[in-house]
Amino acid sequence: MSQLRKDPIVGRWTIIATERARRPAAFVDHQSTITDQKHCPYCQDIPSPGVYESHGVKVVNSRSPILNDNKPFERRGHGLYDVCHSYGSHEIVLEAPLHIANMADLPPEQIKAVMQTYALRMQTHRKNPFIEYILAYKNYGVAAGSRNIGHSRSQIMAVPVLPMRVKDKTRGAEKYFNYHERCLFCDMVSQELKNKERVVVENEHFVVITPFASRFPFETWILPKNHHCDFADGIAGHEDSLAAIMKDILLRFKIGLNDPAYNYMIQTSPVKNPSLFKDYYHWHIEVMPRLTRVAGFERGTGFYICPIPPEMSAAFLREVDIHART
């Protein structure tokens, strides 16, 4: 059973997802050991029905979904509080038939197929009138919140509410646009390309930067040079460059930072009312190695301490030789 609940103070939605009532001891974090190929559930035939399959990429419904659409969507109030029961979808993207752990080691064509799969699934989910946002993301490595299965995969979650961070980003971009009548992200791209010290790598359609106000060491953003608010429609024609730059940055992490845990999150615009967002929002991907423990101060204030200037992170990543054989 699960529920979506809204905090009455800041308006932040939370998902409460309990498969079953667990004893408190079951919440304590366990480090898992790496599954070998023989026991990899993703190398064997997957019992749950696939929802999509093409070019070696397979999408299946999560076996322990955080959200599902078994019941129709309905919102209600509880005194001061707002709540709706679980609704939405939670899919696993198996990125290749081969037992390879890190997306960095997949061939570029395979990464391209993964990106195209994200786009297609987003286009399908957004037809559902109850869905407000779709996030495609990856957890790689235990410190990034993944189980250590050793088979490259990512996830797609479609949710019936507008998440807090998405609201934050679109509002910030809207404010800037209202005043300057230009897209904030386009301005950032041109300033970064001129300034260069935070640029890690670029190609024809994309640039990878370490953001000016980075929260984490080696935090990077992949920014499309062309303005488009939506990932699924925006990548059309640019899939090869996106796959190339994704592989490039992931290899820099792997070689330069000793195969760290990482997350990436595709930051696309909200599903509803695309005409609202098309001028001022600009899709991008946040790619983050997980090297630090986020501590109380950061969690409590939303105010981060980055132990290394992003200019230094960028210089370091720029100099990693991704063609070196290890």
Query: Under rule CB under 8 A, which residues in 306-325 are in contact with another protein?
Result: 306-310, 312-313, 316
Q: Which of 133, 231, 253, 283 binds another protein (CB under 8 A)?
A: 133
Report, in Å, the least distance between residue 45 CB and another protein. Answer: 27
Choosing from 89, 139, 152, 241, the residue that interacts with another protein (CB under 8 A) is 139
- CB nearer to another protein: pick between 164 and 322: 164
Angle CA(227)–CA(161)–CA(129) in degrees, nearest 5? 80
Which one, 49 or 307, has the nearer CB to another protein?
A: 307
Minimum CB separation of residue 268 from another protein in Å reads 10
Instruction: List the one residue from 44, 70, 273, 301 that touches another protein (CB under 8 A).
Output: 301
Task: Give the span between the Cα atoms of 238 and 226, in whole angstroms.
Answer: 10
Q: Which of 28, 237 has the CB closer to another protein?
A: 28
Please give, one letter per residue, the 3-state secondary structure of 72-93: CCCEEEECCEEEEECCCEEEEE
Total binding residues for another protein by CB under 8 A? 92
Q: Measure the CA–CA gap between 311 and 140, rounded to whole angstroms.
A: 25
CB of 317 to another protein, least distance (A): 9
Kindly report the backbone phi and psi dihedral angles of residue 209, in degrees, each rounded to the nearest multiple of 5, phi listed first.
-125, 160
Query: Among 38, 127, 293, 325, which residue sits at the site for another protein (rule: CB under 8 A)?
Result: 293
Nearer to another protein, 55 or 81 (CB): 81
Query: Which tokens belong to 302?
Result: 């939303």
* Mutual angle of helices 239-256 and 310-319, in 10-degree steps: 100
Per CB under 8 A, which of residues 66..95 are in contact with another protein? 66, 78-81
Applying CB under 8 A, among 36, 212, 272, 321 the residue interacting with another protein is 212
* Spatial separation of the C-alpha atoms in residues 209 and 197, rounded to whole Å: 9
Which of positions 237-266 make contact with another protein (CB under 8 A)? 257-258, 263-266
Tokens of 65: 């979904």
CB atoms within 10 A of CB 32: 11
Considering only 38-46, 48-56, 183-191, 223-231, which stretch makes contact with another protein by CB under 8 A? 183-191
Do residues 200 and 227 make contact, with C-beta atoms less than 8 angstroms apart?
no
CB of 9 to another protein, least distance (A): 5
Rounded to 5 degrees, φ, ψ at 96 are: -160, 150
Residue 52, strand partner residues? 59
Nearer to another protein, 128 or 240 (CB): 128
Q: Does 108 bind another protein (CB under 8 A)?
A: no
- Distance, in Å, from the CA atom of 231 to the CA atom of 214, rounded to the nearest integer, reads 23
Select 227 or 240, whichever has its Cβ closest to another protein: 227
Distance separating alpha carbons of residues 105 and 254, to the nearest angstrom: 9
Closest separation between CB of residue 20 and another protein, Å?
A: 10
Strand-pairing partners, residue 263, are 139, 288
Contact region with another protein (CB under 8 A), list: 13-21, 100-108, 118-126, 240-248: 13-21
Binding test (CB under 8 A) with another protein, winner from 51, 164, 193, 244: 164
Distance CA 269, CA 280 (A): 10
Which residue reads 């990932």 in tokens?
Answer: 231
